Every structure is written in C-alpha cells, then in structure tokens.
Structure 1
C-alpha cells in the first residue's frame, strides 16, 4: 500500500511557490503601421502615375496652344480614365503588397 500524504488546506493555498511554475514569455510587439511608404515605389504604380501625369501635361500644353476642341476631347476621356486608373492602381497595390 502507498502512503497517503496529508496537507493542511490553509498552508497549501497560502504557501508562496519557491519557483514559478510558468516561464515568462518574450513580448512580441507588432507595428500599427502595416506598410512602408517605400512600398509605393512599385514600378507598375509609378508607370501608371507617369502616364496619367503625362496626359495631364499634354492637355495643358494643348490648352496653351489654343486647340480647345482637342482639349475638350481629352477632358471627356480623362473624366472616365482617371477614376478607373486610380481605383485599379489601388486594387493592384493592395493585391500585390505583402503584409
């Protein structure tokens, strides 16, 4: 037969442990900023931005030259292309960016 060991209830629960039963875990800290601004230097994003900027500069040059009818055509096209380009580039950026 095994010997039974008895503990006093108060001594058992109020006794401070000599060594901690759990080891402290290292603290893992995460950044609240999920991406770096350097990530926006993606060649595709820069190319799309350069094309849009180039078309806007061409539009201003044509306006200075007095070719208003061609500028109006550019404005009609750009009214559709600019929002589509912006949202497409935004979707592309978040789809290809590694978090």
Structure 2
C-alpha cells in the first residue's frame, strides 16, 4: 500500500498571495440610469397620458352608442396620434430628466 502525504493549504500556496487578497481601495461608481421612477409623475407626461386615455374612453363610449362611422374616423386619427404622443413623451422624459 502506498503511503499518502498530506499538504496544508499554506504549503501549497505561497505567502505572497495574501497581499492580493486584501480589499481594493474604494472607487466612485456612476449609474447609467440617473433618474428615479417617480420622475414619471411629471405634470407634462401625466397630461399627455390623460389626453390619450380620455380619447380612448370617448372612443369606447361612442362605440357603445352605435356611432360606428365616427369611431372609425377617430380610430384612423388615433393610429397616427398615439405613436406620436408616445414617442414625444418618451423623448421629453429623457431630454429633461437625464443630468
């Protein structure tokens, strides 16, 4: 039978490695997201969202009343207005809240 020899951890790794295990000096970290989610409560963004939501509610009410021609015309207009309003609000948000 072979005789096994035991090694301690300090014999395998030299003493010089202990200096590299110390904590690095602190450094400043900067965030790539400099705004808070609460910044979405801006009155301009809430106004744009309220207008779009109001138009959608009016469209549903007109649909229930049976005024389908007016609903179709409003839907054609909203296909253009909704993306423009969304991207305008998004651009405004990033333009005003990024430092």
**TM-score scaled by length of structure 2:** 0.69
> What do the CA deviations read for 1:11-68 (whole angstroms, capped 9, x no partner)?
xxxxxxxxxxxxx965324345432100010000000000000000000000000000
* Structure number with larger C-alpha Rg: 1
Distance 2:71 2:36 in 1: 38
1:40 aligned residue: 40
CA RMSD of superposed structures (Å): 1.8
Partner of 1:70, secondary structure, is: helix
**Unpaired segments of 5 or more residues in structure 2?**
1-23
For 2:88 and 2:98, the matched residues in 1 are separated by 18
Counterpart residue number, 1:60:
60
Matches of 1:57 and 1:36, distance apart in 2: 30
Note if contact 2:34-2:98 (Cα within 8 Å) is conserved in structure 1.
no
CA distance in 1, matches of 2:30, 2:87: 29
Higher helix share: 2
Unaligned 5+ segments in structure 1 are 1-23
Aligned to 1:27, the other structure's residue is in SS state: coil
Counterparts of 2:27 and 2:77, CA distance in 1: 54
State the partner residue of 1:78: 78
